[in-house]
Chains A and B, each alone.
Chain A
């Protein structure tokens, strides 16, 4: 059973639109949630972290967490071609080690 699931996409949106990326997780003990952006051939870059239910906004990015539904999402407003990348959802399941469980990622393409 997968710990973290994401729609693998690809997801295509026109420039200026809102991109919505979704992630579900299986372990109710999960306490920390992260979104990473990974450009092709590069390493993951942390763009958002969220720890409590609700919304967290940072510039054009909004992370949403619903622990009851075991669901976390990332909204990208005013999408730009430079946002084209793979977005990885990661969950920290507290149990001793600070090990992140990653989804397989959603490939986003923003069309100019």
Chain B
């Protein structure tokens, strides 16, 4: 079975631009969570979606938004990019709304 997939793998953007990151969960999993990991820190929670509804939001500005599609895949959008948005963006998949989470390979975003 395929694990969590994310695209793209790497991305370079300039300040002020917009970015869309994509995630496909493990087959049969209905929940997707997004995390941001900056160098030297643990991942920080951004959003959780379960059955296409937002179940939780971390302490991130409104420039960050997300959605989940009927096939349970998800997109994370970030507007008006700042240098501080440079990080590894991780998608985690879980069966239900409160289960073990399995991470995808991540998208490395660099903002210049």
Question: Which residues of A are at the interface with B, using a C-beta cutoff of 8 A?
Answer: 4, 32, 34, 36, 42-46, 49, 88, 90, 92, 94, 96-105
Binding site for A on B (CB under 8 A): 31, 33, 35, 40-45, 48, 50, 55-58, 88, 90, 92, 94, 97-106
Residue of A nearest to B57 (CB): A97
Is there an interface contact between B88 and A43, defined as CB atoms closer than 8 Å? yes
- Contact, CB under 8 Å: B55 / A96: yes
CA distance A100 to B56 in the complex (A): 11
Residues in B with CB closer than 8 Å to A4 are: 42
Further contacts, 10 of them, CB under 8 A, given A97-B45, A97-B97, A99-B48: A4-B42, A42-B105, A43-B88, A43-B106, A46-B103, A49-B100, A98-B97, A99-B45, A99-B56, A103-B42
